[in-house]
Chain A
Amino acid sequence: MSTALSIQNLNYKRNRQVILHDGQLTLSTGKIVGLLGENGAGKTTLMRLITGNAQGQGVIKVGDSSDVMHRKQKTSFSDHLKGFDKSTKINQVVKFYQTVYPDFSNDRYQEMATFLQLDASQKLTALSKGTKEKLIIALTLARQTELYLLDEPFSGIDSMSRKQVISSILKWTPDNATLLISDHYVHEIASLLDEIVVVKDQTIAVHKGADEIRDQLGVEIEDYYESLYEVGGAADDK
């Protein structure tokens, strides 16, 4: 199995504050990986560093390329669409994606849009939080890339929307692609995951397989994750 993402000696400061230090991580292709951590732990920052939209020190490779432009080409990140006017319609956003991403598949998008019941004529400002998340997921997964980064796709959405989003992720993520999905509520995504990565104490503290946690440690992912935050709990156990 080849390497989808490798991170070596990653350090990142902002306003002279250390956000992440000594980050090391290697992900294989074809895995669904949960990126877990508390609010403000640095999950989104780690994703932005992978895309090259935040600039840290160290080596980040997507596939075999560390060049930022190639990383952007090989990575589909769940942009929250803040670059669009609120009056922009969904079909205009889709047109934008079709124009700037040569790997954007309109057929895949249309399938997902039908499944997720997205109305192309709706304006961004009229979308509920759940519908907006569905749109973001559909746009992100409609690109055909090696690595997908979904940044808190279940944040603030209802259980029905959450189920639809999970179904779309399972249905439309290509088999050979790697999916890194961040959340701070592990129970929402535990059933999806092959591996977990935990950002804690300003570094990548844990990287374990879901089966390893269940079989060798004999606990569920949720329990293992919670134990990391208990005093004297499992710590820094890569």
Chain B
Amino acid sequence: MTSSFSLFKVMGQTKVRRINWLIILELIATVVTTLWTAISGNFSSVSLFYAFCSWAIFPYLIGVILVAIVAEKAYTSDTYRLIPISNWKFYAMNLLSSLAAFIYLVLVQVVLYALTAAIGWSSLSDSYEQMQLMMSQYGMSFNFWAAAGTILGLSLVINILAWSTISLVHLVMNSASNFLPKARQRVVNIIVYVIVIFLTLRIVTFLFGWLSNLMYTAFGSSNIDSLWLGILVMVVAIVLESALNIVMINKWVETNPN
């Protein structure tokens, strides 16, 4: 039998390769923006940092989608589904390798933030000191590491929930083809799309409200229990969705023919 680690390795490599392309594109965009700043005559030591910050959101957004595409293809690809391993391990390694690829992206981004900030530190240090002074004046005790850790943990759970939800939708549609003629399958797909869009909007609204609570918690003092309760709810949702996904893979999900 194939070991879980071997599967994790090959799935992770494919996803990391996509992430690497994304980082290369981000770096090219950063360099081009910095060069444009220089040509415009506004160049300073901090230009590279600002240029990097302006592009940094895109790898996260696109990265989550790219990783999801690779992960979903694995469920219907002979190349992956021929591998002799149990379906629950297959599912778990797919999800874990997606998570590992995202953590890799975050780490690379942190290194790039640090590098570009170090280059422009002479300018940034003043801003940082001013910000600390302002926060102390308003009585806000900012624990950077605690906030960063919480945001990272939160974003990882949100990502896992997003991926397991995408899998749920994909696998429901694939499974439906076992039971429905093609015409009705399209109707089912439309219904599933509508339900998913509705649920996504509800979840996004909930998350925005929750994130504002997080920022309040991170900067000041508040009841942090509600935050962890929210994380717990998401973890329960991930477990339930994953259980359904594994049942569908076991019973109905087929690969696309050659």
Contact = CB atoms under 8 A, between A and B. Distances in A.
Given A48-B257, A83-B79, A102 B2 contact: yes
Contact of A54 (B7, B77, B79, B254): B254
Given A15-B177, A45-B257, A83-B73, A100 B185 contact: no
Interface stretch (B34-42, B83-91, B99-107, B117-125): B83-91
A96 B258 CA distance: 19
B83 A100 contact: yes
A96 B177 contact: no
B178 A79 contact: no
B14 to A, nearest CB: 8
Q: How large is the interface on A (under 10, 10 to 19, 20 to 34, 35 or more residues)?
A: 20 to 34
B251 interface: yes
Contacts of B73: 83
Contacts of B178: 13-14, 55
Nearest to B18: A85
A61 interface: no
Q: How large is the interface on B (under 10, 10 to 19, 20 to 34, 35 or more residues)?
A: 20 to 34
Contacts of B7: 100
Interface string B1-26: 11000110110001001000000000
Which label, helix, strand, loop or mixed, suits the secondary structure of the B interface?
Answer: loop
Given A14-B177, A69-B1, A69-B86, A84 B252 contact: no
A44 B84 contact: no
A15 B185 contact: yes
A16 B79 CA distance: 26
Given A15-B177, A69-B84, A72-B83, A80 B6 contact: no
Interface string A39-82: 00000110010010111000000000000011011000101111
A99 B254 contact: no
Contacts of B180: 15-16
